[in-house]
Structure 1
């Protein structure tokens, strides 16, 4: 498994955990401190940490815009009703599509689908793929 995949998985686990924390604890300004605490409890590959922080920073700072895009593309799904794992995986992938110039859109989508196979339900990979395909059509290449 590549370093970036490990970073994406760490970011997913961090965001999943964050969903269960008080909103007051989720200030992007103290992200690195919270991530250090997270990685003390869970093993995060040393080489993957920098990219995980970059993904998390982009995702958390731009969360409202990312969520708006997901809402537009997830027809017949309210964002709040999407499973925690799938929702956070979508956020990470949309963040990569929008803010990571060195990651082709299709790579971000493929990585999200592969991670969904590992962490999501049986339906997660096709669900994530469908939403991200719709996102890709709405975003200039």
Structure 2
């Protein structure tokens, strides 16, 4: 797995733990660093901070374009993978759009249900097509 792939996985773990514990994500990340010898890839920080900074807008896009699904109804891990993928797709110019979508799908394949990769691919693919109008 690439360094960025590991950073995405770590960001997913941090954001998931924060949501499950109702704790601030940056506090969860800080605690992990202090309690272990964990060295945090700077890209993990970029993802966590980026998702937190844009979460309201990202959630609005996900809610609007997830046909028949509310954010609350989505499995937590899928919701967080979608947030990471949407942040990379819409707000990180260093990641090509196709890579953002395929990396989110890869995360879903290893971390979620059998149905999740197709759902995540479809929703992020929809956002990718609408990207110019979403960011206008």
State the TM-score, normalizing by the size of structure 2: 0.89
Superposed CA deviations along residues 27-63 of structure 1, whole A, max 9, x for unmatched, are: x7xx2x531312456775x4x6200000010101111
Q: Using CA pairs under 8 Å that are at least 6 residues apart, name the structure with larger relative contact order, 1 or 2.
A: 1
User: After TM superposition, which residue ranges in structure 1, 4 or more long, deviate above 2 angstroms?
Assistant: 38-44
The unaligned stretches of length 5 or more in structure 1 are none
Coordinate RMSD, CA, aligned: 1.9
Q: Give yes or no for contact 2:59–2:71 (8 Å, CA) kept in 1.
A: yes
Counterpart in 2 of 1:87? 79
Aligned equivalents of 1:105 and 1:65: distance in 2? 18
Counterpart in 2 of 1:34? 28
| Aligned with residue 55 of structure 1, among 37, 40, 47 | 47
Counterpart in 2 of 1:5? 5
User: Which range moves more in the overlay, 34-43 or 125-134?
Assistant: 34-43
Aligned equivalents of 2:92 and 2:42: distance in 1? 13
CA spacing shift, 1:42–1:11, aligned 2, 3 Å:
farther
State the TM-score, normalizing by the size of structure 1: 0.86
Aligned residues: 133
